[in-house]
Structure 1
Amino acid sequence: MHIWNQQVISLLEPLANEENARHMKAYMRGQFEFFGIKSGPRREALKPLFSRSDLPCVEHVPEVVQELWALPQREYQLVAIDLLIKQKKRLPESYLTNLEQLITTHSWWDTVDMLATHIASALFIQYPVQTSEYIQRWRESENIWLRRTALLYQLKFKADTDEALLFSLIKENQHDNEFFIQKAIGWVLREYSKTAPTSVINFIEEQGILGLARREALKWLNKSDLSE
């Protein structure tokens, strides 16, 4: 095991909290084991390892992340994502293959959303042509987490959002009753409404976006109306 991961383990294991772990496991529908370490204490404990001098070099990041992803406690996957975010501007184009594997392994919103909005987005900014090829494949996948990633990777793009692509992705998924797809549609429309409110309102009405997606999409616009 990589020495950086050995240090992570030695710092996290003493912080285990059984009561917190039970609550966390229940909240995540019993899918993952937990140490019971909340994000604040986790990041504080690992702060020394995230200093520039102690970070694993970018060439070792795929190995380090893969090892953390294979460990049973969910906190390790969250540490892996923190590491990826720290190194996201240095990741090579080839990491797209690794990213796809992470999205589809131990998948749930807590990892997938961070991978979509931080790592997929960063890779797209650096390697737009290559990343677009993956997005095209993900949008056609039966895997809901790959499609959720395709919907969410532009979440923070604001005026740089490819509106035509975003609306096309939503049209493809709007009749999928899967909760996490509907939630993603609402979330990305809500964020984009802060940049292009008229476009979003027109799209929602013309496309007939309903239910959960519509409620989520209009939250910011409704709040803005009330405050005026």
Structure 2
Amino acid sequence: MDYPAFHEEVREALSKIGRPILGAHIASDRRSSLEYVGVRFPARRKIVSAGFSFSDRDDEQVLHIWNDLWMNSTNGDVMFCALDYCKNQLKRAVNLENWFTVRNWVVRVENWAHSDELCTIYSCYLATNDPVCWNDLDQWNRSDKEWYKRVSIVSLLRNSPKYPTYIPFDRAIPYLKRCLEDDRYYVQKAVGWVLGEFRKDYQAQVDEFLSTNLKAISATALTRALERATRDERSQWRHRKKELS
């Protein structure tokens, strides 16, 4: 680690408002091997927005520091702060040069919460339609690594309850198909969630995809994809899948 003093500064600021019992629960809930001091999201984001001793440096230097902390910290809350910083910056503008830094962050992902927050960041870059970003996503999608594959499909959505989609469903299909037979839990949960979100805007196309690939789609993914469907619809889909088994 190049900036241990800054790491300690961030960790100490979090520890002052942390709750160890909550931290232990977070680690258990997320099946994470990282340390957590136990800070709720709103309080943590407030700390990040207030800034640290290095926050008044230029943007390139600050990102360099957060990159060092993300890549080397064993504290999950410190890592969340790095994600919070990037999300704050993206509210102002998307600087594609920063992609060459944050694209490497996927290597540290080991739990669903960090994964999904990082996907929020990645989706902002992908929405620019930059070919370098999409090429990286394609490589992750073809990887054998569980978190790479999850990131490659969750990043296809924007973190917005009202407007989650920013690409047509047709563009998402190849990425989803390459994940259908990966039976790892967090990949299948992601497949179902992504399908469910796309179903809001592209129900006919998603239902056609479900029909075509029903035998390959796991029960976990199907259940998640149909969470917003009516009870009768869910029952019909389950019956159709059972007939194929």
TM bucket (normalised to shorter chain) is: 0.7 to 0.9
Question: Where in structure 2 are the equivalents of 1:8-87 lying within 5 Å?
Answer: 8-49=10-51, 57-69=58-70, 70-87=72-89
More displaced, 13-22 or 70-79? 13-22
Determine the C-alpha separation between the residues in 2 that align with 1:17 and 1:158: 33
Q: Which runs of 5+ in 2 are unaligned?
A: 235-245
Would the alpha carbon gap of residues 62 and 91 (structure 1) be closer, same or farther in structure 2, given more than 3 Å must change? farther
Q: Give the TM-score, by structure 2 length.
A: 0.79
Check conservation: 1:58, 1:90, Cα contact below 8 A. Answer: no
Question: Where in structure 2 are the equivalents of 1:133-148 lying within 5 Å?
Answer: 133-148=135-150
Task: Give the match for residue 164 of structure 1.
Answer: 170
Check conservation: 1:197, 1:221, Cα contact below 8 A. Answer: no
More displaced, 127-136 or 172-181? 127-136
Task: Give the match for residue 102 of structure 2.
Answer: 99
- SS in structure 1 of the partner of residue 31 of structure 2: coil
Check conservation: 2:196, 2:225, Cα contact below 8 A. Answer: yes
Check conservation: 1:138, 1:150, Cα contact below 8 A. Answer: yes
Provide the aligned length of Structure 1 versus Structure 2. 222
1:218 and 2:226 correspond = yes
Would the alpha carbon gap of residues 40 and 119 (structure 1) be closer, same or farther in structure 2, given more than 3 Å must change? closer
Greater fraction helix:
1
Determine the C-alpha separation between the residues in 2 that align with 1:192 and 1:17: 37
Question: Where in structure 2 are the equivalents of 1:188-203 lying within 5 Å?
Answer: 188-203=194-209
Q: What amino acid maps onto 2:188 in structure 1?
A: Q
Check conservation: 1:193, 1:220, Cα contact below 8 A. Answer: no
Would the alpha carbon gap of residues 65 and 46 (structure 1) be closer, same or farther in structure 2, given more than 3 Å must change? closer
Would the alpha carbon gap of residues 120 and 43 (structure 1) be closer, same or farther in structure 2, given more than 3 Å must change? closer
More displaced, 19-28 or 132-141? 19-28
- The percentage of aligned residue pairs carrying the same residue is 19
Determine the C-alpha separation between the residues in 2 that align with 1:86 and 1:111: 16
Q: Which runs of 5+ in 1 are unaligned?
A: none
Check conservation: 1:158, 1:195, Cα contact below 8 A. Answer: no
RMSD: 2.7
Would the alpha carbon gap of residues 18 and 2 (structure 1) be closer, same or farther in structure 2, given more than 3 Å must change? closer
